[in-house]
Every structure is written in structure tokens, then in C-alpha cells.
Structure 1
Amino acid sequence: MGMDMAERVEAVLRDGGAPGFHGLVVRRGGQVVLERYGAGADFRLGEPLGHVTFDRDTLHDLRSVSKSVVALLYGIALGDGLVPEPGAGLMAQFPEYPDLAEDPGKAHLTIEHALTMTLGLDWNEDAPYTSPANSEIAMELAPDRYRYVLERPVAEEAGKRWRYCGGATALLGGVIAKGTGRPLERYAAEALFGPLGITDFAWTRGPDGIASAAAGLRLRPVDLAAVGQLVLDGGRGIVPEVWLEKALRSRVPIDGPFTYGYHWYVLAEERRRVQAAGNGGQLLVVVPDEELVVAVTAGEYDRDTGGSRAVLETVLEAVLEG
């Protein structure tokens, strides 16, 4: 199987099917069975890094895969009694904004609405992630990211419709930082990365000095795959298994085949699949029935050509036919 999978991936890359390809790590049955790295222009949240030749030790932006890691961190903190349950009121977690807490349109918001991205607030990430017309970029540029999100106008009733929102993740990051009494990136190091043996990571901060929970995490692809393995293994006591069962359950429909759990995408077809995805072709895919974890990194920022999906589908085909 291994050789066949490697040959198939090579063919996709050779034929230009994944022009921005940077890295691939495949784990099967708990072992790394394929690793492949590329080269190309790269960025750290919009900051040019020039032409990079990637290898096992090169950190890569995970962009919105960061969101799914934040959901794991919330689950760890919840298991340790450091953060409130998902049903807790959201505005109550930010008492420093009494003016916003008095908005009757927001009184019923909960942490769960943030976890499922159903806040019902006016938020738009359709513009490129280089433009302040994009709500996430506007949030990063705002003097206070939490106030920026919480003061967005109510657009519709919460809990009804999934609307992609990096602001939801920022709020979760704030809840985790407040509850654990340390910055998000330090809690991540202590509670998740340390126990996994991951020592080399970075979490890009906004101008306010706060880690960008929605998009700032940088990991080596092998370590991203190790996070996927942890999810596949039921958390191994690092992430509570009861939390993973909640987080990886279909909760909100999304246009297309995927549904949304707690900051994870869930494909509930005959072969259940859970995944995290980020701008530019960043993917972390877990297929429990096949004991399969696939991590892909790429540099197709704001112009995704589908190359990472092509690589993923090639791996899945090799597994299913193997």
C-alpha cells in the first residue's frame, strides 16, 4: 500500500494538480506511513516569508485549523474545571463590557453558540484575508478584539444558522485564557503540546499582543498529524474522551456534505470523517474506520485551487482500494 500511495501522490504533484503543495503526513494504524515535503512562497498570516524549502522541522501556518485546536483546549480546560460549561452565558464571561452586557439582543448568547458558530452576529469573512473588509482582519486590527466581536450587531436569532466566524474562536480563546489564568499559547504548551511531546510551535499574535486563536497556530506537519492521532485515539487522557464525543458530533448543517460540531467539520457519510481546514489548503483529516490521519499544508492563501483536496482524495483512494 505504502509505495502505491506515494506513487499516486507523486503523480498528482508531477502533473501540477497541487501547485501550492508544502507538506503531507499520513498516519495509518498509529504509524507515519508517508511523509512528503515541497517548496514555495510562504507567509505568516500575511507576512511574506519568501521562498521556503520545507522539511520535517519547518513550522507552517495552520490558519483556521487553529480553531479546531482551540476547541480541544477548551475541552481540556473544561475537564479541569477551569472554564464554564458550553451552556453558560457568553456575555457573563466578559464582565469588563457592562455596556454590551445590557444589550437585550445578546442576553441569550452562550459559549455553545460560539463553539458551533451560530452567534447570529453580523460577520463576514468573504473578503480576502488581507482586507479590513474581512471581519476577522478588522477584529485583528481593532484595539480590543473581544469588544469588537461582542459589539457586532445582531443579524439573526442565535443557534439557528452556521456562519463562519473567527470572532467566535477569539471569544473562546478569551474564555480559556481567563479561566486558566494564562495566555492561550502558554496553556496550549502545558495542557496539549507538552503531553504530546510537541516542543516546537508558534502562535502568531495580533497587534494587541494576544494570540490569534482563529488562525495563528504554527506547527510542523508531523506534529499536526500527532494532534489528529490524539483525536483518533479518543484523547488518550490528554483531551477528555467525553469532550471529543461532544465536539465531533454533527450539530449544525453547512451547505454541502459537511456538518459542524464544536469547531470541527463532520462528514457523516458511510465512512465517518472529521476534519479541520484552513485558508490556503491546510487540512487535518481523521477517518476512524481506517485508523487514518492525513495532514496537508500548502501555500494557496486566498486563491485555493483545491490542490490539498486533490492530495487528500488521492490518499483516501489509495487507502480504500488498498
Structure 2
Amino acid sequence: MKSAEPLSPTESPAETLGFDPAIKRKLLAGIESGLLRDLHVVLAARSGSVFLDHYTQGNDDEWGRPLGQVAFNADALHDLRSVTKSIVSLIYGIALDRGLVPPLEATLLAQFPEYADLAVHPARARITIGHALTMTLGMEWDENRPYSDPLNSEIAMELAPDRYRFVLDRPIIAEPGSRWIYSGGSVALIGAIIAKGTGQSLPDFARDALFTPLGIERFHWSAGNDGVASAASGLRLTAPDLLKIGQMLLGKGVWNGQRIVSEGWIEASFAPAISTPDGLGYGRLWFIGDAPAPAFDAPKPWYAGFGNGGQRLWLMPEADIAAVIYAGKYDAWDAWVTPTRVWREIILANLQRA
């Protein structure tokens, strides 16, 4: 991260970057009042400089395995859960830029010739890689059940003897491209295509193509019983390293003068391809919305990776803000409330000037 200009004796980092200098105190008040629950980490930066950081301790899991009480700090790895999906989108974009994976208009089943029997269904045969990247496969998939339920489709995929056949053999319930259906299975397929095209496992290619250029030295990628890393939810990163990814995206794919991801891939990933049932836009494994801030006359667009339990990577390019939120409210229906309040009522509401 680049450093801000030296502060005057009366200035705080937040104030220098355009925020209410009491922003940290407001965050702590929300936590103390019980309005902001189960937070583990809040880390936010503007124009390359951190203006808000908060680390605490709490009960945590590693991909569903209880870890007990964990004291979080800048060196602690944390589950991203489905923020992993958004990182996988970036990895596909890098592989595509290098000519290692097929274009988005390529048919999905053509990448899995071992399942040629499934292509006899006309709609299934029309599904493309682009449909997988926008969760518009048109296939049945149910992740509304708790992740402790073996009937949850992602868990059923992990328990299946062949995860890819399990995904590709789901019943067709909508025309491909016409309906958004949240699907970790679609991202498992993207991870497999990356591995096939690059000749490396997903974690190994991610390390070489994304993490090492960003100076990310430590990560963990949880894998299923078959040894396959979960492209849908398995990545663990420290908060500062996830923030680096966000700042690289704000830099339109450039980090320390080095091109990591093409600007065209980022722009296309952040372009709404379909609407979700919650009224948000969805691009290439990124959620899209808008939110107000006192610094602006009208709401500005944001882009985000969302993960089970309250994990978030929020970006607002017009304000040059990236924010990481880690939390421990796994599998709870209201886990979205606290990270949304931190983003809207703490971070954006205290941005006073552009």
C-alpha cells in the first residue's frame, strides 16, 4: 500500500482521507451496543491508505471445522467462504488473457468431453462458460439449506463420487442465461477449466498468477475428500492480503506498476449480466449495487464479493475505497446485516468529501 502524505499534529488518517475523524469510535460504539455482531476484522483503505482497522477475537471455523476462540490480527488467515468465487473470476480472467482457457462463448460441456452423454439434452448443450461465470446455467441448485444439511447442493457435490458429473447432470429448470440461480457448482466447473487449461491445480496457478505478484505469501485453500480445492468457498487469506486484491482492482488491474488482470476483464466482470432475487446486479461472480455517501450528490456504484458468515470485499471505485470485513456468523440467515451496516452506516456514511 502506498503511504499518505505526512499528517499534521491535529489530523487523523481518517480525516486526511476525507472521513469523520470519529469513524473508529463509531464502529466501536456499534459493536459495544450490540448493533454490530460477530465481527472479527474491519479493514478499509482509500487511495491506498488505511483509514479504519479493527481486529478482535471470536469463535471461528475453517470451512466448517470449529477452531474455537481465535485472536485475529493482520497475520491471521480467515475463511473467505464465497468471496472465493470472486477471486476465482479474477484467476479465470488472468488465464484467459494468457490464452490458457477458452473464451466465455465456448460451450461448457465441450470442456468436459468425459461427460459427452450429458450433451444430448439440447438446453444443456447450449450452456456456455459465460453462463457459469454469471450463475445463469439454468440448472437446479439449492444452497438455501444450511451447509450442515447434506441436501444443500454444495455439500451434496462435495459428497458425490464425481463432483463435476454431479453439477453437470442437474436438471434443467430454465433457459440458460435467463435466470440467476446461486450455484457453487458453477464455480467448481470454472475451477476445473482453469486447472485443465493451465496444467496446474487452482491453488498453484492462483499462487503464481495472482498471489505472488501481489506479494501474498501465505494462503490456504481447503479441499474436499477427493483432494480438489473448493473453487466455491475454500480460500483463506489475511485481511491485508484480501485488501491488496481490492486495491489492485481499484487500480484497474495494476499493482506497483505491474499489470495483474486486464482492465477489460475487470470492466466486464463489474458489468451487470443478470439481476438477483434481492434486486442486486450480478456480473462475472461479483455482486453489484449502489449506495449513498455524504461526499456525493447521488448514490455511487459498488462491487463486492459476498461470503457465508459475513465475509465481504467491498469496492467503490468512484470513491477509491476498498473494505474487507471478516465475521463469524456462519450459516445464519441474517449474517448479511452487520457487514452491510458497517459498509453503509460506518464507512460510506462517514465519507465527508470526495
TM alignment of 1:62-81, pairs within 5 A: 62-81=80-99
State the number of aligned residues: 322
1:188 and 1:169 mapped to 2: Cα distance? 15
How many angstroms apart in 2 are the aligned matches of 1:272 and 1:84?
Answer: 30
**Deviation string for 1:227-279 (max 9, x for gaps)?**
11111110011011111111110110123341000000111563011111001
Q: Distance in 1 between matches of 2:279 and 2:127?
A: 27
- Assess, with a 3 A threshold, how the Cα gap between structure 1 residues 93 and 320 changes in structure 2: closer, same or farther: farther
Residues 1:312 and 2:343 aligned together: yes
Residue 323 of structure 2 corresponds to residue 294 of structure 1: yes
Residue 89 of structure 1 aligns to a residue whose secondary structure is coil
| 8 Å Cα contact 1:95-1:101 kept in structure 2 | no
Tell me the CA shift for residue 318 of structure 1: 1.0
Task: Determine what percentage of the aligned residue pairs are the same residue.
Answer: 46
Mapped partners of 2:54, 2:145: distance in 1: 32
Superposition misfits of 4+ residues, deviation over 4 angstroms: none
Q: Which amino acid aligns with 1:28?
A: R
Alignment of 1:218-237 (within 5 A): 218-236=236-254, 237=259
- Distance (Å, rounded) in 2 between the aligned partners of 1:120 and 1:239: 29
Matched, 1:259 2:281: yes
Instruction: Return the structure number with greater relative CO, CA threshold 8 A, min gap 6.
Output: 1
**Counterparts of 2:189 and 2:204 in 1: how far apart (Å)?**
17
Separation of aligned partners in 1, 2:218 and 2:179: 37
Letter in 1 for 2:273: R
Q: Which has the larger radius of gyration?
A: 2
Aligned residue for 1:118, secondary structure, equals: coil
Change (3 A) 1:298 1:268: closer
CA distance in 1, matches of 2:178, 2:348: 33
Deviation at 1:36, TM superposition (A): 0.8
CA separation of 1:145 and 1:320: change in aligned 2, threshold 3 A: farther
CA distance in 1, matches of 2:113, 2:208: 27
- Matched with 1:18 is 36
How do residues 23-102 of structure 1 correspond to structure 2 at under 5 angstroms?
Answer: 23-102=41-120
State the alpha-carbon separation in 2 of the partners of residues 71 and 160 from structure 1.
20
Q: Could you list the runs of 5+ residues in structure 1 that have no partner in the other structure?
A: none
Shift of 1:18: 2.1
Aligned to 2:194: 176
Q: Which residue of 1 aligns with 2:263?
A: 241
1:154 is aligned to 172
SS at match of 1:97: helix
Alignment of 1:96-175 (within 5 A): 96-175=114-193
CA contact (8 A) 1:12 1:310 kept: no
CA distance in 2, matches of 1:96, 1:257: 38
> What is the distance in 1 between the residues matched to 2:62 and 2:166?
23
> Partners in 2 of 1:257 and 1:220 — Cα distance?
30
Cα contact 2:140–2:173 (8 A) shared by 1: yes
Higher deviation after alignment, 6-15 or 190-199: 6-15
TM-score normalised according to structure 2 size: 0.88
Deviation digits for residues 167-209 of structure 1 (CA, Å, limit 9, x no counterpart)? 0100000110100001000000000000000011101001110
1:51-97 deviation digits (Å, cap 9, x = unpaired): 11111111000000000000000000000000000000100000111
8 Å CA contact 2:270, 2:288 repeated in 1: yes
Question: Conserved in 2, the CA contact under 8 Å of 1:64 and 1:278?
Answer: yes
